[in-house]
Amino acid sequence: NAGVTQTPKFRVLKTGQSMTLLCAQDMNHEYMYWYRQDPGMGLRLIHYSVGEGTTAKGEVPDGYNVSRLKKQNFLLGLESAAPSQTSVYFCASTLRSRARQGSGELFFGEGSRLTVL
Amino acid sequence: KQEVTQIPAALSVPEGENLVLNCSFTDSAIYNLQWFRQDPGKGLTSLLLIQSSQREQTSGRLNASLDKSSGRSTLYIAASQPGDSATYLCAVSPNTGTASKLTFGTGTRLQVTL
**CA atoms of B43 and B32, how far apart (whole Å):** 20
Sign of the Cα pseudo-torsion (A40, B80, B55, B8, in order): negative
> Nearest 10 degrees: CA dihedral of A11, A14, A19, A23?
30
Other residues' Cβ atoms within 10 Å of the Cβ of residue B103: 22
Contact: A56, B43; criterion CB under 8 Å: no
Q: Which residues have CB under 8 Å from A39's CB, separation 6+?
A: none
Choose the closest CB to B98 out of A33, A92, A98: A98
| pLDDT at res. A103 | 64
The CA-based diameter of chain A, rounded to the nearest angstrom, is 44
- Contact map slice: A 2-31 vs B, CB within 8 A: 4, 31
Contact: B98, A99; criterion CB under 8 Å: yes
Q: Write the CA distances from A111 to A45, A100, B57, integer angstroms.
A: 14, 28, 27
pLDDT digit string, tens, across residues B6-41? 999 999 999 999 999 999 999 998 888 999 999 998
Tens place of pLDDT for every residue, chain A, 117 residues? Answer: 679 999 999 999 999 999 999 999 999 999 999 999 998 888 999 999 989 999 999 999 999 999 999 999 999 999 999 999 999 999 999 886 555 555 678 899 999 999 999
Contact: A42, B46; criterion CB under 8 Å: no
Decide if A117 touches B, using CB distance below 8 A.
no
| pLDDT at res. B94 | 83
**CA atoms of A88 and A45, how far apart (whole Å):** 12
Percent pLDDT > 90 in chain A is: 79
Other residues' Cβ atoms within 10 Å of the Cβ of residue B58: 11
CB B44, CB A3: distance < 8 Å:
no
pLDDT digit string, tens, across residues A78-96? 999 999 999 999 999 988 6
Q: Write the CA distances from A5 to A16, B7, B55, B83, integer angstroms.
A: 26, 31, 33, 24
pLDDT digit string, tens, across residues B34-77? 999 999 988 999 999 998 889 999 999 999 999 999 999 999 99
Contact: B101, A45; criterion CB under 8 Å: yes
